[in-house]
Amino acid sequence: MNLRKGNLMSVREDVKLLDATIRDGGLCNNFMFSDEFVKELYKANVKSGIDYMEFGYKASTEMFDENEFGKWKFCKEEDLRSIVGENISDMKIAVMADVGRCDYKKDFLPKKDSVIDMVRVACYIHQIPSAIEMIEYLHELGYETSCNVMAISQASKEQIDGALELLCNSDVDVIYLVDSYGSLYPENATELTTMYVNAAEKVGKKIGFHAHNNQNLAFANTIETLSYGVSYLDATIMGIGRGAGNCATELLLGFLRNPKYNLFSVLKFIEKYMIPLKEQGIVWGFDLQYMFTGQFNMHPREAMKFTSDKRRDYCNFYESLIDNV
């Protein structure tokens, strides 16, 4: 029995492409993007048929110093509107809110007063009850919501079953499988997908996938989980994102068959804005240090430090990780 949904020529109307360039890429430069960069990205995404654009985090201004971060860590309504106006496009606007790092009761307006369409609530698996409390509140305000359960490669099957049961009984719209450590292979990513899809289909919810590229599998895992029933696909332009980065939008746009998607506007953005960003010295992408933490199913923080220290002694680093596994 082939569990794939459709084939390589199918247009699946449930598929939604979410651009997380500013949000995940912001982790590489403390969200210090120029207004021009964000505005041109918005235009490029609209032209390329992207379904959602995530602008950043809705982080607590009490916990985080606004002088240390660019405005996309906070995504204030007026900053969003300075880019998108009333957002008359078909593309929806998303922001992320981390459990325990936001003041959601203070910082979210009722949906009718906001250009934000979707709030993505990120949490670890033990924080799901807190996430659900947030989701119910935001749902009441009128937002679409997702729950992005991180570091799923370290959870047991029983934990995942429990998490899915809680989420399927909540008002959340989309449940995300998040491979935070980039440690999943297509084979186990698709097994997890099947668990998620089976649970979600019964209650009319959708599944999303957020990849990391530690083992150079971000794109592969995204299209494989897609073919097993994931609907919401996260990507960033040139895969920009913390550490090894994410699934690259341009790879995904070449794969998807829906004629509403087109690559060319994203290419123009890459040539004009992303290549210069790389040349300014902002570093992301696959490298051996991230491969190690992916292979060991570990948080990449030590690999990120190895990168920022400009170290090249891969063997020493590998040995130090083995000592900690």
Q: What is the dihedral of CA 198, 202, 203, 209, to 10 degrees?
A: 20
Query: Residue 176 or 286: which CB sits closer to its own copies?
Result: 286
If one asks whether residue 291 binds its own copies (CB under 8 A), the answer comes out as yes
Binding mask 133-172 for its own copies (x = CB under 8 A): ----------------------------------------
| Contact flag: residue 64 with its own copies (CB under 8 A) | no
Q: Interface residues for its own copies in 238-277 (CB under 8 A)?
A: 248, 250-251, 254-255, 263-264, 267-268, 270-271, 275
> Which of 150, 224, 154 shows the shortest CA–CA distance to 180?
150
Q: Which of 117, 159, 162, 185 binds its own copies (CB under 8 A)?
A: 185
Could you say whether residue 315 binds its own copies (CB under 8 A)? yes
Burial of residue 218, with CB atoms counted within 10 A of its CB: 0-12 exposed, 13-18 middle, 19 or more buried: buried
* Whole-number Cα distances in Å, 216 to 123, 203, 254, 286, 296: 24, 33, 17, 6, 14
Pair 93, 55: CB distance under 8 Å: yes
Stretch of 136-144, 146-154, 182-190, 301-309 contacting its own copies, by CB under 8 A: 182-190
Strand duo 118-123 + 92-98: pairing: parallel
Give the span between the Cα atoms of 127 and 120, in whole angstroms.
14
Residue 318 makes contact with its own copies by CB under 8 A: yes
8 near its own copies, rule: CB under 8 A: yes
**Are the beta carbons of 171 and 206 closer than 8 angstroms?**
no
Which residues bind to its own copies, rule: CB under 8 A? 1, 4, 7-8, 185-188, 215-221, 223-224, 227, 248, 250-251, 254-255, 263-264, 267-268, 270-271, 275, 288, 291, 294-295, 312-315, 318
